[in-house]
Amino acid sequence: MRLVACWLLALLLPLPALAAVQLDRLALPPGFHIAVYADAVPNAREIAVGTNGTVFVGSTGAGKVYALTDTGHAGHADKIRVIASGLELPVGVAFRHGDLYISAVSRIYVLRDIEHLLDDPPKPELVTDQLPTETSHGWRFIAFGPDDKLYVPIGAPCNVCDKGKAFAKLTRMNSDGSGMQDVAYGIRNTVGFDWRPGSHQLWFTDNGRDLLGDDIPSDELNRLSHTGENFGFPYCHEGDIPDPEFGKGHACKDYTPPVLKLGAHVAALGMRFYTGRMFPASYHGAILIAEHGSWNRSKKVGYRVMAVRLDGNKVASYTPLVTGFEQHEQAWGRPADVQPLPDGSVLVSDDLAGVVYRVTFGDRDSGDGIRDSKRPPPAPAR
């Protein structure tokens, strides 16, 4: 019970004060650059992009949702607005036909025609209040699918428990909140999903359970092949490890294994397919994953952005894109989401530093604020 209590306390404690941004510590493959897109977005989590280029960011802070605008097309936001406040953990944001949908634990809200009302945002309109009220794994990443339905996860309200089909699943609903339907089961907590361009296949990350040690079970990258598919939680973890408490009588072969084991406790959160053309061809169609980083391991892991290249439905490689948010067991940044922009660059949210970064590729001026992996980091000040 003491271990469970510690785990719950870690989820409920307020996040630490914003950490200092340390771009010089970040490493990227040759030719890539990283810069600050906006540096006053406390507890920044999921990112969505509007039709007119507005960048919307949910948060775990004081119930706020942000709108970032780059009016000069200079590659960084020159205006940051709070467009909603006082909401319960409004982590998830999803844009559809001019409207911004926001997750707030048991509720989904919408801000109508928001890009035309940024300076005088409307009051959030309730879409549904029929989601569970539990805050443990209740911070919801949301997205609209190719079927024009809003996909909403319902995570397990615990480290590991068996709540039947009421929790640990992915659901979808119509844009007005009607027609809620279960899509998949056995998902402990997905905080990132996207649809593969051209196939409309849903891929998603899932966070593995805690308190089985440093190295098991792994977080997962999964692919949905049919509605109602079961990915094993709480009976089976990472496709081949029966749960010591709930696994009896449940064979792992009866559940869908992950496409890729991402590593134990890396806390894989936001993920997107890269559909741009700015990055090298080897990244086209790759999956980018924000790994938030471990809080529950004797040596920290994660704290990076990874790229998963695919060969059909199989993984061809799993390599770092951005590293350096944690060094010598000290973390100053925690990636939470990734979001490609129309120009092919990629935004990365960091809820520890309260920053949104922009990753670019190609020959360009590596002036102030730009970190080019070909250059050594500047010498520390004396």
The pLDDT of residue 364: 53
SS3 per-residue string spanning 261-275? EEEECCCEEEEEECC
Tokens standing for residue 254 = 């009866």
Bond prior to 335 in cis (omega within 30° of 0): no
pLDDT at 367 over 70: no
Give residue-wise pLDDT tens across range 142-189.
999 999 999 999 999 999 999 999 999 999 999 999 999 999 999 999
Give residue-wise pLDDT tens across range 233-289.
999 999 999 999 999 999 999 999 999 999 999 999 999 999 999 999 999 999 999
Cα–Cα distance measured from residue 272 to residue 289, given in angstroms and rounded to the nearest whole number: 7
Under 8 Å between Cβ of 329 and 32: no
Domain ranges of the chain: 16-39+265-374
Give residue-wise pLDDT tens across range 191-241.
999 999 999 999 999 999 999 999 999 999 999 999 999 999 999 999 999
Amino acid (one-letter) located at 177:
G
Cα–Cα distance measured from residue 89 to residue 158, given in angstroms and rounded to the nearest whole number: 17
Give residue-wise pLDDT tens across range 96-113.
999 999 999 999 999 999
Mean pLDDT value of segment 356-378: 58
Return the percentage of the chain with pLDDT > 70, whole number.
Answer: 90
* CA distances from residue 255 to 166, 195, 199, 315 in whole angstroms, order as listed: 18, 21, 23, 20
Number of C-beta neighbours around residue 22 at 10 A: 15
The pLDDT of residue 42: 97
The pLDDT of residue 102: 98
Residue 78's nearest CA partner among 53, 102, 98, 61 is 53
pTM of the model: 0.91
Helices (H), the chain: 2-12
The pLDDT of residue 21: 85
Cα–Cα distance measured from residue 107 to residue 48, given in angstroms and rounded to the nearest whole number: 18
The pLDDT of residue 80: 98
The pLDDT of residue 62: 82
pLDDT at 380 over 50: no
Dump strand ranges (E) for 93-168: 93-96, 99-104, 107-111, 125-128, 143-144, 150-154
pLDDT at 127 over 60: yes
Give residue-wise pLDDT tens across range 193-202.
999 999 999 9
Residue 102's nearest CA partner among 31, 55, 46 is 46
CA angle 279, 269, 240 (to 5 degrees): 110
Q: Which residues contact 215 (CB under 8 A, 6 or more apart)?
A: 264
Cα–Cα distance measured from residue 372 to residue 32, given in angstroms and rounded to the nearest whole number: 6
